Amino acid sequence: MQPIITSRFPSAPSNLRVCLLNFFELAAFFIAILFFPCAVRCQEKNGVEFSFFSTYNKQGEYETRYGDVAFINHLTLYGPDIGFKLDYKRILYGKTFFKIGLGYMNFGVSKIENETNGMPNPGRLINYPTVIFIQYETAKYHYNNLIFHLGLEKQFPISQDLSFFAAADYFHAGKLSQKYYIPGAGTYYHTSTNGNLGDFFNINLGISEKIGSISFLPALVIPIYKSWRKDVVFKEDPGTSISNWAGGIGIMLSVSYH
């Protein structure tokens, strides 16, 4: 009988060092899987895979206040998630693969729909430091993130070197830095508040073409669920999260070397 391995997802870290330690804690749990033998005789080889991905999403819809102000903002946020990852890809059995890796993701908000007291506004109030007593807004912003990735991929052969595949991806994102555009000041505001951003789940559908030891895997990306933390720069509680189901689509291009 194999021992039962348990793991606990970490609470939000307070700095980048703790965030990285949490990544490696998660990785240590799943790396053990890589050393189990294939359930049946493997017909493929293990390898490494580099992927570039880009999606456009409804990042979230929620109501919030700016600090202690009386009015409520109803926000709908849209934007891209763009990044890359490097995975170790191991066969579990037959044509089923397990992937584990690290990468980078830019989580962006490029369009803000803000309805305040029935009035639309393409921006939101931000705690921008200034010597002038003016309340500024941001019109777009993004978070730079280190991502930890886990994935499962199942291939369905079409011919000897061509397969259809379906895959499930999980990303855990940790913030490295943030950038906000302030149109009223004509500048960008940079911060480096480290910690958890959140968790992301996607489904990928695509074609795998094998040429020698290299496989090319273009895919359609369908975001399924995301949960990301609110931002203290908007005077929100970073201990609370925004959750969003579906609401996006994108592409991924992967290259595997076996």
Q: Is residue 47 part of a domain?
A: yes
Amino acid at 74: H
Q: Is residue 11 part of a domain?
A: no
249 vs 222: CA distance, rounded Å: 5
**pLDDT, position 25:** 58
Q: Is residue 10 part of a domain?
A: no
- Tokens for 192, please give them: 């480096």
238 vs 241: CA distance, rounded Å: 7
Q: Is residue 1 part of a domain?
A: no
> What counts of helices (H) and strands (E) characterise the chain?
1, 14
**pLDDT, position 118:** 78
Rounded to a whole number of angstroms, the distance between the first and last alpha carbons of the chain is 32
Q: Is residue 34 part of a domain?
A: yes
**Count of domains for the chain:** 1
**pLDDT, position 41:** 38
Q: What does pLDDT average to over the chain?
A: 87
55 vs 77: CA distance, rounded Å: 14
- Tokens for 23, please give them: 């990544």
Q: Is residue 74 part of a domain?
A: yes
Q: Is residue 168 part of a domain?
A: yes
**pLDDT, position 6:** 40
91 vs 25: CA distance, rounded Å: 23
Range of the domain at 70: 16-257
What's 200's domain CATH number? 2.40.160.20
What 3-state class would DSSP assign to 255?
Answer: strand
Quick check: 23 and 31 in contact, CB under 8 A? no
Judging by DSSP bridges, how do beta strands 241-245 and 195-211 pair with one another?
Answer: unpaired
pLDDT digits (tens, 9 = 90+) for 59-82: 999 999 998 888 899 999 999 999
Dihedral pair phi/psi, residue 8, rounded to 5°? -125, 125
What 3-state class would DSSP assign to 24?
Answer: helix
pLDDT at 191 over 50: yes
**pLDDT, position 69:** 85
Q: Is residue 6 part of a domain?
A: no
Quick check: 207 and 165 in contact, CB under 8 A? yes
